[in-house]
Structure 1
Amino acid sequence: MTMRTYSPEERFVATQLARADLYEFSRWMFVQRKGFIWNRAPHHKIICDALMRVFRGECKRLIINVPPRYSKTELAVINFMAWALGKVPDSEFIHTSYSGKLASKNAFQTRDLVLSQAYHEIFPELVLRHDSKAKDDWKTTAGGCVYAVGDGGTITGYGAGKQRPGFGGAIIIDDPHKADEARSEVIRKGVIDWFQNTLESRKNGPETPIILIMQRLHEDDLAGWLLKGGNGETWENVVIPALQEDGTALWPAKHTVEALRIMQNAAPYMFAGQYQQRPSPAEGGVFKPDNLVTVDAIPAGVVEWVRAWDLAAAIDGDYTAGPKLGKLPDGRYIIADMVRDRMAPDDRDKVMKNTAERDGTGTKISIPQDPGQAGKTQVLDLTRKLAGFSVSSSPESGDKVTRAEPFASQVNVGNVLMLRAPWNQALIDEMRMFPNGSHDDQVDGLSRAFSVFIDNNFGMLDYLAQLAAQKAATQTGP
Structure 2
Amino acid sequence: MTTILRPSRVGPAAAAQELLRRRRARAKLIDFAAYVDPTFTRAPHLELIAAYLEAARRREIRRLIIQAPPRHGKSKITSEMFPAWALGIDPTEQFMLASHTAALPETFSRNVRNLIETEAYQRLFSETHLSSDSATVQKWTLSGHTRPAMLTVGVGGSPTGQGAKILIIDDPIGAADEAESELQRNNLYTWYTDTIYPRLEPDAVIIIMMQRWHEDDLTGRLLRDQSRADRWVVLSLPALAETQQERDEYAKRAGLPMGQPDPLGRRPGEALWPVRYPAETLRAIEAVSKRSFAAKYQQKPRPAEGAKFKRAWLRTIEASELPQGLAWKRYYDLAHSLKEQSSNTATIAGAMGPDGTLYLRRGHAGKIESPEQRKMIRELMLAESDTEHGIENKVHGGPMVQELMREPELAHVALKSVNVHADKIARATPVVDRAEMGKVRFVRESVNDDGWIEEWISEMCAFPYGAQDDRVDAVSGVNQMIGQGEAQKTRSSTATVVTIDQMWK
Instruction: Give the TM interval when normalised to the shorter protein.
Output: 0.5 to 0.7
Paired residue type of 1:193: T
Which of 181, 186, 190 matches 2:187? 190
Counterpart residue number, 1:167 = none
8 A Cα contact 2:179 2:185, kept in partner: yes
Assess if the C-alpha contact under 8 Å between 2:323 and 2:353 holds in 1.
no
| Structure 2 counterpart of 1:269, one-letter code | R
Q: How does 1:51-90 map to 2 (within 5 A)?
A: 51-90=53-92
Cα RMSD (Å):
4.9
Identify the match of residue 109 of structure 2 among 98, 107, 112.
107
Per-residue CA shift, 1:33-55, capped at 9, x if unaligned? Answer: xxx4x333211000101111122
Give CA deviations for 1:136-155 in whole Å, capped at 9, x if unaligned. 11111131520000122111
In 1, Cα distance between equivalents of 2:77 and 2:142: 21
Pick from 299, 323, 327 the counterpart of residue 323 of structure 2: 299
1:78-477 correspondence to structure 2 within 5 Å? 78-143=80-145, 144-161=148-165, 170-180=166-176, 181-204=178-201, 206-228=202-224, 229-230=226-227, 232-245=229-242, 246=267, 247-280=269-302, 287=311, 292-296=316-320, 298-299=322-323, 317=343, 334-335=359-360, 343-344=393-394, 407=435, 416=441, 418=443, 426-432=452-458, 434-435=461-462, 438-440=467-469, 442=471
Q: Is the 8 A contact 1:94 1:160 kept in 2?
A: yes
CA displacement at 1:177 relative to structure 2:
2.7
Q: CA shift at 1:94, angstroms?
A: 1.2
- Structure 1 residue 77 displacement after superposition: 1.1
Q: Which moved more, 1:266-275 or 1:422-431?
A: 422-431
- Alpha carbons 1:332, 1:417 under 8 Å: kept: no
Displacement, 1:219?
A: 3.0
Per-residue CA deviation, residues 342-366 of structure 1 (Å, 9 max, x unaligned), is: 6529979xx9xxxxxx9xxxxxxxx
In structure 2, C-alpha distance between the alignment counterparts of 1:335 and 1:191, rounded to whole Å:
36
* Equivalent-residue separation in structure 2 for 1:151 and 1:227 (angstroms): 20
**SS in structure 2 at match of 1:429:** helix
Contact 2:80 2:108 in 1 (8 A): yes
Q: Percent identity among equivalent residues?
A: 29
Question: How far 1:4 sits from its partner (Å)?
Answer: 12
- Write the distance in 2 (CA, Å) between the matches of 1:80 and 1:68: 19
Q: Which runs of 5+ in 1 are unaligned?
A: 162-169, 352-357, 359-366, 376-392, 397-402, 451-478
Which whole-Å CA distance do the structure 1 matches of 2:46 and 2:196 have between them? 27
With the length of structure 1 as denominator, give the TM-score of the two structures: 0.65
Give me the whole-angstrom Cα distance separating, in 1, the residues matched to 2:75 and 2:433.
Answer: 37
Output the amino acid matched with 2:33.
S
Give the CA deviation at 1:11: 4.4
Alignment check: 8 A CA contact 1:404 1:444 kept: no
Which residue is equivalent to 1:465?
none
When residues 346 and 133 of structure 1 are mapped into structure 2, their CA distance, relative to the original with a 3 A threshold, is closer
With normalisation by structure 2, the TM-score equals: 0.62
C-alpha separation between the residues in 2 aligned to 1:72 and 1:130?
31
- Matched-pair contact (CA < 8 Å) for 1:65–1:238: yes
| Runs of at least 5 residues in structure 2 that lack an aligned partner in the other structure | 243-266, 304-308, 364-388, 402-413, 415-419, 480-505
For 2:438 and 2:295, locate their aligned partners in 1 and report how far apart those are by CA, in whole Å.
25
Q: Please state whether the residue corresponding to 1:96 is helix, strand or coil.
A: strand
